[in-house]
Structure 1
Amino acid sequence: MISGSGDDHLGQRIADVVVDKFLKLNSKAGKPSVRSNGVKEWTVLASMVMIKDNEVIPLCLTTGVKSLPEKVRTYSQGLMVHDMHAEILCIRSFNRFLIEECLKDGEMVVRTDTQKFKFKDDIKLALFISEPPCGDASMNYLISSKQDNTPWKDETPETKRRKVIRGRSHFDKLGIVRTKPGRSDSVETLSKSCSDKLCIKQSTGLNNSVTSELFDPIFLDYLVLRSDKFHRDDLARCFKDRFAISIHDLEILTYEEDNYPFHKAEGTVPSPNSLVYIDNCEPTIHVLNNGVKIGSYVKNKPPKKGGESILCNHRMIQDASKLLDLQTYTTYIEFKNSQERRKVIEKAKNHLENWVCTGIDDFSI
């Protein structure tokens, strides 16, 4: 189901709870600021929310609008987070939440007869985003907005060679895979738009390669968007019409207004930092810059020792190794490619057609 006519009261409740939680987070470094020249920063806010017994509980909360260039994959060694758009970072944070619950025998999960984990209680999951997902789900909204509503005309030779459609190129083409927007003159990234990544998640579940070994697929039930910031046609096309395969239904919940102070506005610039809050982690708040802990970035190299985020692939699989049997694998990619879920992912990518894969970011395990 794709509509904007769901339980709007629930949508407003979620928005209120998420923004209130964000405003109370004590992390000045992770929130947008006013630069020394007086220019204000903006960023997107996202949260994975659990709905249980009519209670709204934010499990994780993230901000961010950045993604790393494709070339970073040649030296990242699994130590850098490549996509820091808020909603994708939020899904990554949710997977970290799941790992922490399993490691700590948390109150929310229990072992099943198959020795996998599951949530103890009947829950629903909602993803709140302060802006519609970049890519196909927001094309008409982008065209009709006062900002960024001019399509890029110039393409780099590399982009043409790869047949990549970047975020703000070719407004006349709808229902296609796009990469993260960035700037028209920015270094190429092959990181797919948030629209496209969310579509894949509605086929595979929110689980990543690590948590798919610990849980059966966990699906997103609701997407929560502000009522004046999306077009229903975009969402129907993106999440339903362009799929010829069965995917998990996604219901759109809307809300009318919020008190979030860092929406994009005329004269503002994107914040370079991402704030990450995960309810069951210690510490609960982390700040990322260029895909690593703030202050740990090294140009054209992996981060400083100990500067990797708990959200990077290396830390995810390292910390979850206490729960998994990894003895038959020597590398992360070998482990990842051995999973049955890869077939589901490839099938979904094929239906989305012009999906150009990113480079490999591998490391020993």
Structure 2
Amino acid sequence: MASSHSTLADEMAQTVFKIYEKCPKKCKPSTRSDGTKEWTNLAAVALYSERCGISCVSVATGVKVLPESRLKNMPQGKLLHDCHAEILALRGFNRFLINECIKMHDCPEYVSSIIMRNDSQRQQQQRPFRLAATWKIYLIVSEIPCGDASMEQLGAGTVEAWDTSSIKRDGKPLRGRGYFSEIGVIRTKPSRPDAPISMSKSCSDKLALKQFTSALQTPTTLLIEPVYLDGVVLPMHKFTYATMSRAFGKNGRLSTYREELLGSTGTYTFQPFCYMTYSLQFRDAKESLDSDPRAKKSKPSNVSLLWVKGQDPESIVNGLKIGGRISSSASRINMTRDAVRIVVDGSNQKYSDLKASVIDRQLIKKLGQNALGAWQSNVCDDFKL
């Protein structure tokens, strides 16, 4: 679906930017002692209905991902592996939904405008909750997602990075930067070739897979029926339909997906999102800081923000909250513990077993991974509850 610039997209972006402005200074990029300013990327999840308008439920910033070595030294679900803004905002969205489910579970009188209880008379495999049908889900971003959707933008003006003569065709994903002419392929974070190795997939790849597995993560899938992103809202001056449709559209790199397989995975399906554009500019974007030729070249910030509606903002560095070095509310361990106490006896259960128990999700996930290509799993971050 082609993009459309709309008043709604501008209103959503403006709502997100206002929330960001109100967040504490410690959650934002700073100016270093030598005068160098830091930049970051921003993303948010907003719900919209014609009756209720816009409800922003999560806002996040970040450009960092943890290397494999860090995950091996501290597993057990405590770390946020991927703090790129898009992925962190989606985790915040899941945290918000789990919070709503907890309120409804603990207090039968509580009425949520977002979540509804499922009829107990429905089929046995039904999740206990579902998203109210009036809401549409949008992911607002300040940058084109890293990976395949941003190849032409990143590669503009370069020569060496387009040269594929030295590429190793061993079936493994490419790093995020380099060999920009290799389009339609899976890439990993971090993007720089000199950065520590991670098998975390690019935001383009993860968002493409979300069109199969839904916007819900493993803990939330135990509670709520699958819900899909209706649209991604991007800066108008950075949007190119051709690259977005290649990265995410069913006629792009996902064209190997076979329509006849739809319906074979229970409640899951393939649901591509639309694109919308806004005209505003994020104040802490790299281009905003580097527009002044007299200023020093900006540097990426190590700090990530996670704001979830109804919670205090979190400042995150190296996968943990600043101050006490404790796990984020959106970490695997915290979200899983909260989810399982509603639906199952989680004592001594392993996270990997809970993932495997959602069989229809595992089937559609495999289908999506096959459509994308050379998908290799990250370090296993398993734990017992």
Q: Any unmatched runs of 5+ in structure 2?
A: 105-110, 120-125, 260-269, 291-296
| CA apart distance, 1:163 | 2.4
Answer yes or no: is the 8 Å Cα contact 1:203–1:344 preserved in 2: yes
Matching residue within 10, 20, 23 for 1:22: 20
Aligned partners of 1:94 and 1:141: how far apart in 2? Answer: 28
Q: Is structure 2 residue 341 aligned with structure 1 residue 311?
A: no
Opposite residue 280 of structure 2, the aligned amino acid is E
Q: Tell me the percent identity.
A: 35
- For residue 143 of structure 1, what is the aligned residue in structure 2? 155
Aligned partners of 2:162 and 2:352: how far apart in 1? Answer: 35
Question: Alignment partner of 2:44: what SS?
Answer: strand
Aligned partners of 2:358 and 2:131: how far apart in 1? Answer: 22
Answer yes or no: is the 8 Å Cα contact 1:68–1:82 preserved in 2: yes
Matching residue within 67, 70, 91 for 1:69: 67
| TM-score of the pair, normalised by structure 2 | 0.84
- For residue 263 of structure 1, what is the aligned residue in structure 2? 285
- Give the aligned CA root-mean-square deviation in angstroms: 2.4
Within-5 A mapping of 1:203-282: 203-240=212-249, 241-243=252-254, 244-245=256-257, 247-258=270-281, 260-265=282-287, 266=290, 267-281=297-311
Matching residue within 10, 30, 45 for 1:33: 30
Q: Any unmatched runs of 5+ in structure 1?
A: 297-303
- For residue 384 of structure 2, what is the aligned residue in structure 1? 364
More helix by share: 2
Opposite residue 14 of structure 2, the aligned amino acid is D
Aligned partners of 2:244 and 2:17: how far apart in 1? Answer: 24
Q: Is structure 2 residue 367 aligned with structure 1 residue 347?
A: yes
| CA apart distance, 1:150 | 5.9
Matching residue within 15, 22, 45 for 2:42: 45
Aligned partners of 2:71 and 2:159: how far apart in 1? Answer: 31
Aligned partners of 1:85 and 1:197: how far apart in 2? Answer: 11
User: Structure 2 vs 1, CA of residues 272 and 160 (structure 1 numbering), >3 Å: closer, same or farther?
Assistant: farther
Aligned partners of 1:239 and 1:180: how far apart in 2? Answer: 18
Aligned partners of 2:75 and 2:237: how far apart in 1? Answer: 39
- For residue 343 of structure 2, what is the aligned residue in structure 1? 324
| CA apart distance, 1:184 | 2.0
Aligned partners of 2:298 and 2:346: how far apart in 1? Answer: 50
Answer yes or no: is the 8 Å Cα contact 1:333–1:362 preserved in 2: yes
User: Structure 2 vs 1, CA of residues 319 and 153 (structure 1 numbering), >3 Å: closer, same or farther?
Assistant: farther
Q: Which has the larger displacement, 330-339 or 30-39?
A: 330-339
Question: Alignment partner of 1:104: what SS?
Answer: helix
- For residue 88 of structure 1, what is the aligned residue in structure 2? 87
User: Structure 2 vs 1, CA of residues 37 and 327 (structure 1 numbering), >3 Å: closer, same or farther?
Assistant: closer
Aligned partners of 1:280 and 1:257: how far apart in 2? Answer: 26
Aligned partners of 2:78 and 2:162: how far apart in 1? Answer: 33
Answer yes or no: is the 8 Å Cα contact 2:340–2:346 preserved in 1: no
Q: Which has the larger displacement, 123-132 or 332-341?
A: 332-341
Question: Alignment partner of 1:323: what SS?
Answer: helix
Give CA-to-partner distance per residue, 1:259-309, whole Å, 9 cap, x none.
Answer: x2101134110110101110023x2x111100001145xxxxxxx5xx111
Aligned partners of 1:325 and 1:337: how far apart in 2? Answer: 15
Aligned partners of 2:303 and 2:159: how far apart in 1? Answer: 25
- For residue 294 of structure 2, what is the aligned residue in structure 1? none
User: Structure 2 vs 1, CA of residues 334 and 152 (structure 1 numbering), >3 Å: closer, same or farther?
Assistant: farther
| TM-score of the pair, normalised by structure 1 | 0.89
Aligned partners of 1:253 and 1:225: how far apart in 2? Answer: 6
Aligned partners of 1:328 and 1:364: how far apart in 2? Answer: 8
| CA apart distance, 1:329 | 6.3
User: Structure 2 vs 1, CA of residues 242 and 162 (structure 1 numbering), >3 Å: closer, same or farther?
Assistant: closer
